[in-house]
């Protein structure tokens, strides 16, 4: 019993010291790959991927859901006057001729976003003009029907950091296949809400990491999650936590139609 109490107190202490730190909460420094266990994608094959720039530096990912709207994590919020959104990006170190660069007219965070536990971690960014939809830029499909099956194979993508405490991003877009975990509460207990889902690998080794925040988790061709938070990167017993996009379809539709 004393051991159980001690473990509980340690867990609570970690929660108090690190109250919902965005992707990722790090308990100790461990060298990681960019998207852990992933590979560089075929250039421009993930047509909905967006990069969010703050003062001209990439700091978060996003997903094109409408020609003039990108969805991302609310914890990625910055003043819109200092942000830009890039579509058609692959190598962030090079100008490849496919990039579409946008100013951000408006940012709408979910009205119930809670920074402390990252509940409702979702925001929409209105671009200064509609994107040109072409062979390298196209909106993602939203999950308007059906259900997400346990252990469904999903793909997460981004330009995350090369080490846990590092600042160096992958120059090229990477992705990794992960599995959807229906029993997310089992891994994080009271920190999980109905607005969150988990994905990773039961063996560990495949995950998103710092710098991937706000990016897409796509399952069966539909946007099911937004990279939000987690403990460490690619730990077997701490899968990545994602905003549950299914809970926000009506909100996304309303914002797009009325803003």
* Third-level CATH fold of 49-139+248-258: Thrombin, subunit H (2.40.10)
Instruction: Quote the pLDDT of residue 169.
Output: 75
- How far is C-alpha 50 from the chain's CA centre? 11
What is the pLDDT averaged over residues 98-112? 98
d(CA 34, CA 41): 13
Residue 30 scores a pLDDT above 70: no
Q: Note if 253 is an active site residue.
A: no
**Where residue 188 falls among pLDDT bands split at 50, 70, 90?**
confident
Q: What is the pLDDT of residue 17?
A: 32
From the candidates 72, 175, 213, 228, give the one annotated as an active-site residue.
213
- Residue 206 CB coordination number (10 Å): 23
Choice among 51, 66, 72, 75 that is catalytic: 75
Q: Is 75 a catalytic residue?
A: yes
Q: What is the distance between the alpha carbons of residues 29 and 164, in angstroms, rounded to a whole number?
A: 6
Is residue 213 flagged as an active site residue?
yes
Sequence spans of domains, the chain = 22-40+141-246, 49-139+248-258
Task: Please give the Cα distance from 224 to 242 (Å, whole number).
Answer: 9
CATH domain 22-40+141-246 topology: Thrombin, subunit H (2.40.10)
Given this chain, do its domains 22-40+141-246 and 49-139+248-258 carry the same CATH topology? yes
Instruction: List the catalytic residue out of 119, 121, 207, 212.
Output: 121
- Tens of pLDDT, residues 33-57: 345 557 889 999 999 999 999 999 9
Please list the alpha-helical segments (H only) found in the chain.
2-17, 185-188, 249-258
3-state secondary structure 140-176: CECCCCCCCCCCCEEEEEECCECCCCCCCECCECEEE
């Amino acid at each position: 019993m004393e051991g159980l109490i001690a473990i509980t107190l340690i867990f609570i202490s970690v929660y108090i010291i690190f109250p919902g730190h965005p992707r990722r909460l790090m308990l100790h420094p461990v060298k990681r790959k960019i998207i852990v266990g992933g590979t560089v994608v075929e250039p421009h094959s993930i047509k909905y991927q967006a990069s969010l720039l703050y003062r001209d530096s990439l700091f978060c990912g996003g997903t094109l859901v409408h020609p003039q709207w990108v969805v991302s994590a609310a914890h990625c919020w910055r003043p819109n006057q200092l942000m830009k959104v890039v579509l058609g990006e692959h190598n962030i170190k090079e100008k490849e001729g496919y990039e579409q660069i946008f100013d951000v007219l408006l940012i709408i965070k979910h009205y119930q976003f809670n920074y402390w536990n990252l509940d409702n971690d979702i925001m929409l960014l209105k671009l200064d003009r509609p994107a040109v939809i072409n062979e390298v830029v196209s909106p993602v499909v939203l999950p308007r029907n059906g259900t997400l099956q346990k252990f469904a194979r999903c793909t997460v993508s981004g330009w995350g950091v090369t080490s846990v405490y590092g600042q160096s991003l992958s120059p090229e877009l990477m992705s990794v296949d992960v599995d959807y975990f229906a029993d997310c509460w089992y891994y994080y207990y009271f920190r999980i809400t109905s607005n969150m889902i988990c994905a990773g690998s039961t063996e560990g080794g495949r995950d998103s990491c710092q710098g991937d925040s706000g990016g897409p988790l796509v399952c069966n061709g539909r946007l099911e999650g937004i990279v939000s938070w987690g403990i460490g990167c690619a730990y077997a017993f701490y899968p990545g936590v994602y905003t549950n996009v299914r809970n926000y379809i009506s909100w996304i539709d309303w914002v797009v139609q009325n803003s």
